[in-house]
Amino acid sequence: MRAYDIIYKKREGQKLSKEELEFLVNGYVDSKIPDYQIAAWAMAVYFQGMDAQETANLTMLMAESGDMIDLSPISGIKVDKHSTGGVGDTTTLILAPLVASAGIPVAKMSGRGLGHTGGTIDKLESIPSFNTSLSRDKFFDNVNQHGVAVVGQTGNLTPADKKLYALRDVTATVESIPLIASSIMSKKLAGGADAIVLDVKTGNGAFMKDFENAKKLAEAMVAIGKEVGRDTAAYITDMNQPLGQAVGNALEVKEAIRTLKGKGPADLTELCVELGAGMLQLAGKVSSLDQGKELLRTKLKNGEALAKFGELITAQGGSAKVIKDLSLLPTAENKVEVKAEKSGYVSAIKALDVGLAAMILGAGRENKDSKIDLAVGLELKQKIADSVEKGDTLAVLHYNDSANLEEAKAKLLAAFTITKEKKNKNKLLYEIIK
């Protein structure tokens, strides 16, 4: 086989066989095929696409390029959840204990990641002495004993995707639905889940800005799940404003605790209940989504979800006192309010710019080695459709270092659009694809 012939075939719009894809993927990981040939192939895929079977084959080959985690020491159906990313997305911190409190095991491996705030692992590390790097055996034991564990990724997961994603990033080939779908799903398959709930965000703060593309991505990922025999449901949800109010690491942990107490922001609570019900359904715990939502709302009301979060924290060496006393979490030295400059209704919020404002304060990483300040970030006091008077607080910024404060304030203020006419809120959940 020759890479040239495979590139040529895809350029002409033909379907590649599993053997041809295997030749490319393995050859690339082993550095037998150079970047420029894989880049040419990726560009051919960008223009010609791949069908469901090709996409599933590519996904499986990328998953199998590194460690395949075997979750079978954990009893029960393991359902993973993945979000394509947004601003202030605290759902994992809430969903893990919430779903576990309903009796479904949650074995979650999460990342740190580059972004406006840290990833789930950074957020959890704002809990004093919380340990996110358990051994494999301890991880399994904790899930079996407590129904939940959340740890950082270890091992050599999907090296083919790592290499290919970095190459796509510099060759203008990221925005290809089959390549994105296979990239995301390869990581989920390598992680060992039996079933997968995907939160595909759409809107100005999302990777997929428009609904049509978000839907295509959702369909492509669900199709991969079908081809490889893992039940997959994709939720297309709104990201035209940050989720909840908090954007920042410890601030999001505080928001998660409030939500588990049943006192969280309505949008964040609703999304967690929706996604959690999807997880319960795929795990066979409930026969309908309504039944799942009902069960989860009960767990939020009766304190069992919150108690499960305390159990999770204790089992991973952290101090569960934070649940009763939020002031034990990292807290910034200073706060400042950003105020509305005119009266009217909030009609739009540029979610990415809100994220950037938090990042400017030090909540996120600009590159892999940046240090983040777990205490800083912001809280939105107004969301879309809220009415505001001139001088009302739009957001509270939490900061330690005032060097970039003015820049963060300006970014935040400019993220808000205030108009005379009221604009109704978008739906939170647009569609479920299964």
Give the residue numbers marked as catalytic: 82, 161, 168, 183, 187
3-class DSSP assignment, residue 143: helix
- The residue among 331, 95, 423, 402 whose CA lies nearest residue 235 is 95
For residue 60 the two structure tokens come to 């499986």
For residue 105 the two structure tokens come to 């095991």
- The residue among 229, 231, 241 whose CA lies nearest residue 416 is 241
Is residue 88 involved in binding Ca ion (CB under 5 A)? yes
Is residue 246 involved in binding Ca ion (CB under 5 A)? yes
CB nearer to ligand URA: pick between 140 and 207: 207
| Residues making contact with ligand URA (CB under 6 A) | 165, 174, 179-180, 183-184, 207
Is residue 244 involved in binding Ca ion (CB under 5 A)? yes
- Quote the least distance from Cβ 240 to Ca ion, whole Å: 14
> Which does residue 183 bind out of ligand URA, Ca ion, none, counting CB within 5 to 8 angstroms by kind?
ligand URA
> Which does residue 165 bind out of ligand URA, Ca ion, none, counting CB within 5 to 8 angstroms by kind?
ligand URA
> Which does residue 235 bind out of Ca ion, ligand URA, none, counting CB within 5 to 8 angstroms by kind?
none
> Which does residue 360 bind out of Ca ion, ligand URA, none, counting CB within 5 to 8 angstroms by kind?
none
> Which does residue 184 bind out of Ca ion, ligand URA, none, counting CB within 5 to 8 angstroms by kind?
ligand URA
CB nearer to Ca ion: pick between 88 and 178: 88
> Among 80-88, 211-219, 221-229, 350-358, which window interacts with Ca ion (CB under 5 A)?
80-88
Rounded Cα gap, residues 166 and 174, in angstroms:
9
Rounded Cα gap, residues 359 and 263, in angstroms:
26
- Quote the least distance from Cβ 302 to ligand URA, whole Å: 37
- Quote the least distance from Cβ 170 to ligand URA, whole Å: 13
Is residue 94 involved in binding Ca ion (CB under 5 A)? no
DSSP per-residue codes, 333-385? SEEEEEE-SS-EEEEEE-HHHHHHHHHHTTSSBSSTT----TT-EEEES--TT
Rounded Cα gap, residues 75 and 228, in angstroms:
21
3-class DSSP assignment, residue 199: strand
CB nearer to Ca ion: pick between 244 and 278: 244
- Quote the least distance from Cβ 114 to ligand URA, whole Å: 11
Residue type, 193: A
- Quote the least distance from Cβ 45 to Ca ion, whole Å: 35
Burial of 90 (0-12, 13-18, 19+ CB in 10 A): buried
Is residue 178 involved in binding Ca ion (CB under 5 A)? no
- The residue among 405, 401, 255 whose CA lies nearest residue 329 is 255
Site residues for Ca ion per CB under 5 A: 88, 90, 243-244, 246
